[in-house]
Chains A and B, each alone.
Chain A
Amino acid sequence: MNGRGGDALPELDEADRRQASLPPVARLATATLASIVVGGIYMASSYGRTVTLVPPLVLVAVAAAVLAVNVTLLARVNEFAWDSFFQVTGWALLAYCAIAGILEFVFIYDRTPANQLWLLTAMLVLFAVDIPLLLGFSVARWQPIHRADDSATMPTAQSG
């Protein structure tokens, strides 16, 4: 079934061949997410105590840096289904901004101290950008690329 147990390997299509040239966006986005989650666990586990905020601050900085590198690497890709990417990322951004908004409401409602609130807000912003980026990339990487000259060439090729 997976092509390794004696079955013939399925023929690679255009999207499969494109994968090697794509940057590791999914892995970097997961690394960003992991940094945010670890920072969040640290802050939740020290709730009600006065503890140093250096570890979560470092984790937020790492998450922000990885996310910035990720966006930069992706922006440099030419052969990519950008229409699919923006479609999925846009809707996911809307959904994850709503989720982040609810969490922000909870933190403000709980009268979270200002320094912790800023850190948690930064984590939520990174989270709300990182996940849509990951979802958009995960879909668009397998989608066909619509080039500008496709509309002119396709009907001719089909009718021929």
Chain B
Amino acid sequence: MAEAFEVGTAARVPLHGTVRDQADGSGPVTVPEFSIIPVRGLPIVAVLVAGLVAAIASNSLWGLTFFHVAGGGLWTSIDLFVGLAIGPILGRLSVQARTEFTVRFMPKMILIMPTLVAMTLGAGFQLARHLGNLNATYPHHNWLVASYVIVGIMTVIALGLLEPANLAVLFELKKPRPNGARIGRLMRVFIYTAGITGIMQIATIVIMTFLASR
């Protein structure tokens, strides 16, 4: 295995990667060295989770609103952006470019998305409880139940399809001979499910903005 180099720059910059033949015979692909879990991001996750727990424990209305709105906004934006903007672009890239993007992008998603989901749902539930929106006597209770159903479907899609595909792609890329066809199939699952959850997020935005304006 040869060391890979990034071309197109003034100097040849080592990527600390390896050239790997694809198992489906579609030619060699340079896979940069990568970590499946970006360890440097773990302290950020720990700080955010600690902040969420502190906001819940202190009954801070500002803290809960911050975590719910910031988390929900980012969750929605990332889902929509990945599904509707990144996805179609990725599909048109060369295998090499797709591989380089994937090994840098997907590990970050493993940390970012569960953190945002925990922030949004944890803070949202507490916020609704404080505001009295959870009670069945709340005039727009049916809208809230509709949002539960949407989030429930998104949870099943994200945990049942999207996250397993994400992890499987990364482990496939760690192999000496990654299977390009398999990576393509799994990436399609990832992109399509991100797109579906992104579109469902629009329904959540409609419901949440409706409830916030009442």
Interface residues of A (CB under 8 A from B): 1-3, 10-11, 13, 15-16, 26, 29-30, 33-34, 37-38, 40-41, 44-49, 84, 88, 91, 95, 98-99, 102-103, 105-106, 109-110, 131, 134-135, 137-139, 141-144
Contacts and interface: CB of A to CB of B under 8 A. Distances in A.
A144 B172 CA distance: 10
Interface of B: 23-26, 37, 49, 52-53, 56-57, 114, 118, 122, 125-126, 129, 134-137, 141, 144-145, 148-149, 152, 155-156, 159-161, 163-165, 167-168, 171-172, 175, 179-182, 184-185, 188
A13 B23 contact: yes
B143 to A, nearest CB: 11
Nearest to A42: B148
Contacts of B136: 45-49
A141 B186 CA distance: 13
Contacts, number: 111
Q: Name the 9 nearest CB pairs between A and B, nearest first.
A: A10-B24, A138-B164, A30-B160, A10-B181, A48-B135, A47-B134, A37-B152, A45-B145, A41-B148
B152 A142 contact: no
Given A10-B26, A10-B179, A142-B168, A41 B152 contact: yes
A33 B154 CA distance: 12
Contact of A37 (B57, B156, B175): B156
Given A109-B57, A138-B164, A48 B149 contact: no
Contacts of B23: 11, 13
Given A48-B136, A49-B136, A109 B160 contact: no
B90 to A, nearest CB: 12
Contacts of A34: 156, 160
Secondary structure of the A contact surface, majority rule: helix
Contacts of A141: 168
Contact of A139 (B26, B145, B167, B179): B167
Contact of A105 (B53, B135, B172, B182): B53
A133 to B, nearest CB: 11
Nearest to B141: A45
Contacts of B182: 15-16, 142
A134 B168 CA distance: 11
Given A30-B160, A48-B136, A139-B167, A106 B148 contact: no
A40 B155 CA distance: 12
B167 A33 contact: no
Contacts of A131: 159
B114 A106 contact: no
A106 B125 contact: yes
Contacts of A3: 181
B159 A33 contact: yes
A8 to B, nearest CB: 9
B168 A139 contact: yes
A67 B156 CA distance: 15
Contacts of A30: 156, 160-161
Contacts of B188: 2
Contacts of A16: 179, 182
B148 A44 contact: yes
Contacts of A139: 164, 167-168, 171
Contact of A142 (B126, B141, B149, B172): B172
